[in-house]
């Protein structure tokens, strides 16, 4: 089974044209050219790719490893309780 890190890396390679060898768990997002605005878009893409709904509260994710842990935790939690975290998202139900 593909790991969260591999799926995340695939998004980064495809959408941000990043070289795969630069993608490590301790790589800061800023060093990959993904600033706070870029993170907003990355999280939006993650929602689609992982079929999860992110909470609207701000979240601090300095490294790729932090993103992986954050996503894993949400996947687990939302698998146990499929109700969306906030608001309704009809588009998600089709994914």
Partner 1 sequence: MRRVAVSGIGVVSPLGNSAADVLANARAGRSGIRRLDIPFASRLSAPIAGTADFDEEAHFDATQARMLDRFSMFALYAANQAVEGSHGALADVDRSRVGVFLGTGMGGTLTMDSGYRTLYGDDSDRIRPFTVLMGMHSAAAAWIGIEHALRGPNLTYSTACSSSAVAIGEAWMRVACGQLDVAIAGGAEAPLSPGSLKAWEALRTVATMDADDPSASCRPFSRNRSGMVLGEGAGMLVIEPWGRATARGATILGEVMGYGLSNDATHITRPSVEGQAAAMRSALQSAQIGPGEVDSINAHGTGTQANDCTETAAIKAVFGDRASQIPISATKAMHGHLLGAAGALECVLSLLAMRHSVLLPTVHLQQPDPDCDLDYVPNQAREGTAARTMLSSSFAFGGTNAVLVLRGSS
The distance of closest approach from Cβ of residue 16 to partner 1 in the complex, given in angstroms and rounded to an integer, is 6
Could you tell me if 36 and 11 are in contact, meaning their C-beta atoms sit under 8 angstroms apart? no
What's the CA gap between 58 and 82, in Å, rounded?
Answer: 21
Give the binding range for partner 1 (CB under 8 A) out of 21-29, 44-52, 58-66, 67-75.
Answer: 44-52
What's the CA gap between 58 and 93, in Å, rounded?
Answer: 24
Which is closer to partner 1, CB of 2 or CB of 88? 88
By CB under 8 A, name the binding residues for partner 1.
Answer: 15-17, 33, 40-41, 44, 47-48, 87-92
């Amino acid at each position: 089974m593909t790991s969260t890190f591999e799926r995340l890396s695939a998004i980064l390679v495809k959408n941000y044209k990043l070289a795969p060898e630069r993608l490590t768990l301790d790589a800061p997002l800023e060093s990959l050219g993904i600033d706070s605005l870029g993170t907003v878009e990355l999280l939006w893409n993650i929602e689609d790719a992982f079929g999860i709904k992110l909470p609207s509260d701000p979240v601090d994710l300095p490294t790729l490893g932090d993103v992986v842990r954050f996503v894993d935790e949400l996947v687990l939690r939302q698998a146990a309780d499929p109700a969306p975290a906030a608001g309704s998202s009809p588009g998600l139900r089709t994914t």
